[in-house]
Structure 1
Amino acid sequence: MGAYLLWKHRNSCVFEGANPCLAELLRNFRDEQHLWSMAGAQRLASLSAGQADRVG
């Protein structure tokens, strides 16, 4: 999940001229985590969006 989103963001920057944006990438991670949790990925439900913001 994470590697795919990072790869997709990188390709958007390289091939479509998008600017790298960490905030957008983190938002995409949170959205993807939420969708997986709604689909029943129970172990991902323990991750909160706030925890990703505390990294670094």
Structure 2
Amino acid sequence: CWTASRLARRGLQHHPRCLLCDQDPETIQHLLMACPFAKQTWHIILDWAHIPAQPPANETTMMDWWLRAKAQTPPTLRKALQSITLLVPWMIWKQRNECVFDNARPLIDALV
């Protein structure tokens, strides 16, 4: 388990707050589902793909959201939902890493 002190000893900076919203501590659940940046990203992409599922909200895990979203999505759009479920977290993670390692500002338009 990587703690802030272990990261500091290795010369790595640990940001106590999410760099995408600067509102809450960064956890994987927050970063991918609860962060306002992530929520807006999910909303835009699901809307663009005409997928009627609601973006992640209060689910504990991505699997919980996936099961709910799959039930809300017509069979003809489920392959698109599967792709989006893999790609959106990856793109959010890449955006976060750009903020951490390149001092970039989080930009939803660039991500989308």
Normalising to structure 2: TM-score of the pair?
0.25
Which structure's CA Rg is the greater one?
2
Higher normalized helix content (fraction of residues): 1
